[in-house]
Amino acid sequence: MARPVVTIVGRPNVGKSTLFNRLSGKRISITEDTPGVTRDRIYSEGEWLDKHFTLIDTGGIETNTTDNILSQMRIQAEIAIELADIVLFMVDGKEGVTSADAEVAQMLRKSKKEIILVCNKIDKYVNNNNIYEFYNLGLGEPIAISSTEALGLGDLLDIVISKFDDDSDTKDEEDRIKIAVIGKPNAGKSSIINKIIGQDRVIVSDVPGTTRDAIDTEFEKNNQKYTIIDTAGIRRKSRVSEAVEKYSVLRAFTAVERADVCVLVIDADKGITDQDIRIAGYAHDNFKGMVIVVNKWDLIEKDEKTFKKFNDDIRNQFAYMTYAPILTTSALTGQRVNKILETVNEVYSFRTLRVSTGVLNDILIEAVLMNQPRTVKGKKLKIFYGTQVSVNPPKFVIFVNDSTIVHFSYQRYLENKIRESFEYKGTPIVMEFRSRNEK
């Protein structure tokens, strides 16, 4: 069975993201004093007394609003409540009960979920008469905490895990493919994710920078489990002025580091930019799998040469990443979006491919016979043998007489020979040369 799901909800600016960061043990959610900073659902793993659970942070629930993004935040929170086994309803203990709290409480009572009322910002256990007001919400006893000062969190977690079903498989070790969807703001990343998953799990808006956090969404298709990470659109540094956006850029790069395969979304209407190249370069430098998706292809006026021209342009601009497959899609019409997941699966299969030592050395021997390494510093390179030491990414260690005289062009030649036999579509491979006496 899946891990229990614990969702944190409440009106804006009551401290949900600070509590989320405390419980997950990491700075994942953006915490600012600006209401509405956390717009989408944020996922993380939590653990207490060997009990593991999935933790979801949500955007603040605005009960009466005509603002498009705020109303979508409410929808996202409702989805998170539906997913939850336990809901932590957070209120502001200093401010007392508000009409918005009462409306959220009414929504939660209708959900029929297990609700724990969390009264935040009780920094000292004195003059906390406001707590008693919250009994009026009809959700049981308020649990006093201070997420900023980390007061009362142990008691809160004791209550949370006491409500878990005994037969829950709290470790839930699953073989998931982790996919980071990366690219500039407003290239259509969230829309593509919604098409892949088949439901509106991520807010979609025409406002650049809507997705500020990296959001994990778990789903399953054709008996394969996935975690797909929608990252904040990465802007040029000169345009990242708000502290919130600076956090978002860091989080997007962290999402790349966590991923097995990155899907780089390029806006076909705007073409390739320097920022696209920088983003892809970061993924390449971290040896991540890569699929290049040219989105909004339906907006392009096409003739028989259009695709070839765009393809050639991508290959020229991303010359260091010739292994990456290219797809043209339209998230609006759904054109070829189904190919993205198929291609991710293919890339992942190459990332986890193991080559036997015997086969690898046959390739190396043939490569050396066809093209002898040149003499460097009066010394000729000798290759003794190679072996694959790991996968995801594939890593090969090749033992030679002197690792300091391996020229990068000959390393690239050997890599190409390995790719001729096994392709390694969509993934960089790591090659390490060691002198025979090196450990």
Q: Residue 330 — φ and ψ, nearest 5°?
A: -140, 110
Q: Look at residue 157 and tell me whether its pLDDT is greater than 60.
A: yes
Max distance between CA atoms of the chain, in angstroms, equals 86
Domain match, 233 and 269 both: yes
The least confident of 60-74, 174-188, 214-228 is: 60-74
To the question of whether residue 190 is assigned a binding role by annotation, the answer is: yes
Of the candidates 326, 351, 376, which is a domain's last residue? 351
To the question of whether residue 404 is assigned a binding role by annotation, the answer is: no
To the question of whether residue 232 is assigned a binding role by annotation, the answer is: yes
To the question of whether residue 60 is assigned a binding role by annotation, the answer is: yes
To the question of whether residue 183 is assigned a binding role by annotation, the answer is: yes
Domain match, 210 and 112 both: no
Domain match, 203 and 121 both: no
To the question of whether residue 358 is assigned a binding role by annotation, the answer is: no
To the question of whether residue 74 is assigned a binding role by annotation, the answer is: no
Helices (H), 84-127: 99-111
Distance (Å, rounded) from C-alpha 433 to C-alpha 403? 6
Question: How does the average pLDDT of the chain come out, rounded?
Answer: 82
Domain match, 192 and 318 both: yes
To the question of whether residue 144 is assigned a binding role by annotation, the answer is: no
Q: Look at residue 1 and tell me whether its pLDDT is greater than 90.
A: no
Domain match, 291 and 374 both: no
To the question of whether residue 10 is assigned a binding role by annotation, the answer is: yes
CATH of the domain at 370: 3.30.300.20
Dihedral over Cα of 55, 282, 183, 416: its sign: negative
Domain match, 336 and 367 both: no
pLDDT at residue number 328? 94
pLDDT at residue number 99? 85
Domain housing 246: 176-351
To the question of whether residue 15 is assigned a binding role by annotation, the answer is: yes
Dihedral over Cα of 204, 208, 210, 211: its sign: positive
To the question of whether residue 189 is assigned a binding role by annotation, the answer is: yes
**Residue 105 within any structural domain of the chain:** yes
pLDDT at residue number 171? 43
To the question of whether residue 48 is assigned a binding role by annotation, the answer is: no
Domain match, 119 and 12 both: yes
More confident position, 210 or 353: 353
**Residue 170 within any structural domain of the chain:** no
Domain count, the chain: 3
pLDDT at residue number 67? 60
Domain match, 347 and 366 both: no
218-240 pLDDT tens trace: 888 888 888 888 776 555 555 55
What letter does residue 297 receive in the DSSP assignment? G
* Cα 267 → chain centroid: 20
To the question of whether residue 12 is assigned a binding role by annotation, the answer is: yes
What are the DSSP calls for 331-348, one per residue?
TTTTBTTHHHHHHHHHHH
Of the candidates 128, 162, 196, which is a domain's last residue? 162
To the question of whether residue 61 is assigned a binding role by annotation, the answer is: yes
To the question of whether residue 21 is assigned a binding role by annotation, the answer is: no
To the question of whether residue 46 is assigned a binding role by annotation, the answer is: no
To the question of whether residue 142 is assigned a binding role by annotation, the answer is: no
To the question of whether residue 401 is assigned a binding role by annotation, the answer is: no
Distance (Å, rounded) from C-alpha 300 to C-alpha 266? 13
Of the candidates 298, 328, 351, which is a domain's last residue? 351
Pull the structure tokens for residue 174.
């699953």
Q: What is the mean pLDDT of residues 240-249?
A: 51
Domain match, 10 and 155 both: yes
To the question of whether residue 122 is assigned a binding role by annotation, the answer is: yes
Domain match, 220 and 283 both: yes
Q: What is the mean pLDDT of residues 15-41?
A: 66
CATH of the domain at 214: 3.40.50.300
pLDDT at residue number 305? 87
**Residue 171 within any structural domain of the chain:** no
103-138 pLDDT tens trace: 888 888 888 889 999 998 887 654 566 788 888 888
Helix (H) / strand (E) element for 304: namely none
3-state secondary structure labels for all residues of 166-202:
CCCCCCCCCCEEEEEEEECCCCCHHHHHHHHHCCCCC
**Residue 168 within any structural domain of the chain:** no
354-368 pLDDT tens trace: 999 999 999 999 999
pLDDT at residue number 16? 87
Identity of the residue numbered 336 = R
More confident position, 421 or 4: 421
Q: Look at residue 435 and tell me whether its pLDDT is greater than 50.
A: yes
Q: Look at residue 248 and tell me whether its pLDDT is greater than 70.
A: no
Contact 104, 89 (CB under 8 A): yes
Contact 116, 159 (CB under 8 A): yes
To the question of whether residue 296 is assigned a binding role by annotation, the answer is: yes
To the question of whether residue 428 is assigned a binding role by annotation, the answer is: no
**Residue 167 within any structural domain of the chain:** no
Q: Look at residue 247 and tell me whether its pLDDT is greater than 50.
A: no
To the question of whether residue 297 is assigned a binding role by annotation, the answer is: yes
Q: Look at residue 166 and tell me whether its pLDDT is greater than 70.
A: no
Q: Is the peptide bond before 394 cis (omega within 30 degrees of 0)?
A: no
Is pTM beyond 0.85 here?
Answer: no
If we measure between CA atoms, which residue out of 296, 232, 249 comes closest to residue 270?
A: 296
To the question of whether residue 260 is assigned a binding role by annotation, the answer is: no
List CB contacts of 291: < 8 A, sequence separation 6 or more. 261, 262, 263, 264, 324, 325, 327, 340, 343, 344, 347, 426
Domain match, 38 and 91 both: yes
Domain match, 200 and 343 both: yes
